[in-house]
Amino acid sequence: MKTSFVSKILLVFAMAFYSNGNAQFFKKLAKKAEQAAERTVERRVETETTKKTDQALDSILETGSGGQKAPKSPENTGSGNQGNTGNGNQDAPSPETSETSGPKNIRVYSKFDYVPGDKPMFFDDFVNDFVGDFPSKWNTNGGGEVVTLGDSPEKWLELISGYSLYYIPDVPQLPEEYTIEFDLMTVGTDNKTSSNAILRIDLSDDDKFKDGSNFVHARISPCEYTPIGITMSNRINNKREIYSVVKADLRDEFEGRPHISIAVNKQRFRLWVNEEKHIDIPRIVPTGAVLNTLKFHANGFKDGKERLFITNLKVAEGGVDLRRKLISEGKVSTNGILFDVGSANIQPQSMGIIRQISQVLKQETSIGLKIVGHTDADGSDGNNQTLSKNRAEAVKNALVSVYGISSDRLISEGKGESEPVGDNSTAEGKAQNRRVEFIKM
């Protein structure tokens, strides 16, 4: 009943704005909401066996999402607004309208093993750029502009199909271990969209608009009439060593707003679309070369009809295995567990870290953990103390309810803003201070 009701509401909303890309944008959201709700309900029915478990899952996040689909609030680790990981109540979609709300999405992401880097290198949600301009932090040899979709104020960069390349000059030399994340959206694609319509993601040693002597390319496509997979290729010292198509069906994901996550660990390259890992190649990234440029290239989209957009690009150093560190050092701290603004609602894409912690507890059955929440200095001391405690408790509840860890082995506490590790006068420092610690007992 809920799935049908939500779909009807969103379709009515779409028809009310039936003009050009707006109508299709909202129709895509409605279709995605129905499909996502059906899939997650099926998974939940299969896995939940008692009412008590259901209640425990519901306690992880605030209820009331109603299965609605709305644009996500951007995480911001740079200048501008606080994004959806801060302490306060800045302008952002409420948990009740965020697609990341609700225990069903937490359950879907329970096998997600992506761990984001913990040292921000670059972030852009185009909040400081004017609509119609090319974003100030990027460079291109072609076209493109910042736009909004529908009536949402969220900003996107429209990538022009053809020979245009896009890169970010401010991303320094890429380290040995780092992660990349971004959101995509398409408008105008349908069952006639060509299999040659692709977004290519490049890691290259050329700092301008060429392929370079050393590179890794990943090609993904919104093609709807058939699953065409993900094409992976590389070049090492001007010699191609890998060119292969990895089986993947991304059609459902591209009906909505796919979140792309990439982890590079030395020679290893892994890629996730939403909660599912599709690429894991241990020896594809060139060694000994300086890969200093992240590029994007769109091609094969029908001019004037099929459009591609990107937002919330985040590059961060790190993404290391927290399991080994927790076992060897007895303590880990991470700011990769993200929460909605001013709440203890865990964002589902953060479940990779919590999953790793659960694996340690299942292997080391004699240890317990203290979970400590920290906030930045925005807001009052009392509110931050309460918020940090609630966030630590939410992580504890996820370990118990999703991964089956005994609550007797876990305690939670909040430190509020009392133990900063970064400068609370800067956005980067605030991001460092919003963290969760795990301490062996």
Amino acid at 278: H
**247 and 296 assigned to the same domain:** yes
Q: Which of 253, 284, 318 is the last residue of a domain?
A: 318
Among 390, 384, 391, 394, which Cα is nearest to 418's?
Answer: 384
Residue 43 lies in a domain: no
Amino acid at 36: A
**309 and 330 assigned to the same domain:** no
**307 and 326 assigned to the same domain:** no
**260 and 230 assigned to the same domain:** yes
For 319-440, strand residue ranges (E) read 331-334, 369-374, 410-414, 435-440
Domain residue limits at 360 = 322-440
Domain of 282: which CATH number?
2.60.120.200
**167 and 229 assigned to the same domain:** yes
Q: Rg of the Cα trace of the chain?
A: 21
Sorted by sequence, the CB contacts under 8 Å of residue 336 that are 6+ apart come out as 115, 116, 117, 118, 350, 352, 353
Q: Which of 275, 297, 318 is the last residue of a domain?
A: 318
**284 and 362 assigned to the same domain:** no
What pLDDT is attached to residue 34? 52
Under 8 Å between Cβ of 228 and 212: no
Position of tokens 């606080």? 82
How many angstroms separate the CA atoms of 412 and 73, rounded?
27
C-alpha 84: how far from its chain's center? 12
What pLDDT is attached to residue 40? 44
Residue 196 lies in a domain: yes
Under 8 Å between Cβ of 390 and 345: no
Domain of 326: which CATH number?
3.30.1330.60
What pTM, to 2 d.p., does this model score?
Answer: 0.68
Residue 88 lies in a domain: no
Per-10-residue mean pLDDT of the chain, 441 residues long, equals 49 48 53 49 41 38 33 35 45 34 65 81 90 95 93 94 88 85 94 94 92 96 94 95 96 93 93 93 90 93 94 84 86 87 86 91 94 94 95 95 95 95 83 91 92
Residue 36 lies in a domain: no
Residue 107 lies in a domain: no
**163 and 277 assigned to the same domain:** yes
Residue 277 lies in a domain: yes
**181 and 301 assigned to the same domain:** yes
What pLDDT is attached to residue 85? 53
Total count of domains within the chain: 2
Residue 35 lies in a domain: no
**146 and 213 assigned to the same domain:** yes
Q: Which of 301, 318, 335 is the last residue of a domain?
A: 318
What pLDDT is attached to residue 47? 42
Residue 411, CA atoms < 13 Å, CB-side half-sphere:
7
How many angstroms separate the CA atoms of 440 and 370, rounded?
6
Residue 14 lies in a domain: no
Q: Angle at the Cα of 190 (from 185 to 196), degrees rounded to 5? A: 80
Structure tokens at 361: 């507890």
Burial class (CB in 10 A: 0-12, 13-18, 19+), 239: exposed
